Amino acid sequence: MNNKISHLIVLVLLAVAVSSCGAARKTVSSTTAPASAPASITQMGTATDGSYIVSVTQSGASVAAALQKAKKEAVRAVLFDGLTSSVSTTIQKPIVADRAAEIQYGEYFAKFFNEGGAYLNFVAETPGRTVVPVKTGSGYKITIFLTVKKDALRKEMENNGIIKKLGQGL
């Protein structure tokens, strides 16, 4: 267990070092975040359980609001946008390839992304990382490492008929 944590810490530190050297970042905006404050989301690694570790920079009126937005945008990025990596040229494809599904299943996603919604079951703060808020003119800006449970999120989309189960073909 300690060996896995050590490897994860080394991976995260390496990813931070590489990303600070000018690695590309993917900027994600959606209908849930104000157009003036899109989240910056970068994949930092993949855990052995199929989860993505992502770095999210987000603004909000309070630290709590920024954290809530960051979690929502991290899940939204994994679902609809895909992720770019800070440590390689790998691009993780979105779970929901058809962007129209967000509109087609609008009622489901409205409830899913509602305050306190089910999306919170698929995202968590990465242990051992602290949030350092920066005061801005209109609130706070945070950068946080989050873990998004990609495999569980995929299964949720399959179970609700939003995407086909793996192995079902086209």
Residue 1: pLDDT band (50, 70, 90) is low
pLDDT given at position 93: 92
Strand partners, 139: 136
Residues, the chain = 170
**67 Cα distance to chain centroid:** 12
Residue 14: pLDDT band (50, 70, 90) is very low
The string of pLDDT tens digits covering residues 105-142 is 999 999 999 999 999 999 999 888 778 899 999 999 99
Helices (H), the chain: 2-19, 63-76, 101-104, 106-112, 150-159
Range of lowest pLDDT (12-16, 55-59, 61-65, 117-121):
12-16
Q: How large is the average pLDDT for residues 64-85?
A: 94
Q: Could you tell me if 147 and 51 are in contact, meaning their C-beta atoms sit under 8 angstroms apart?
A: yes
Show the tokens assigned to 146: 């989050």
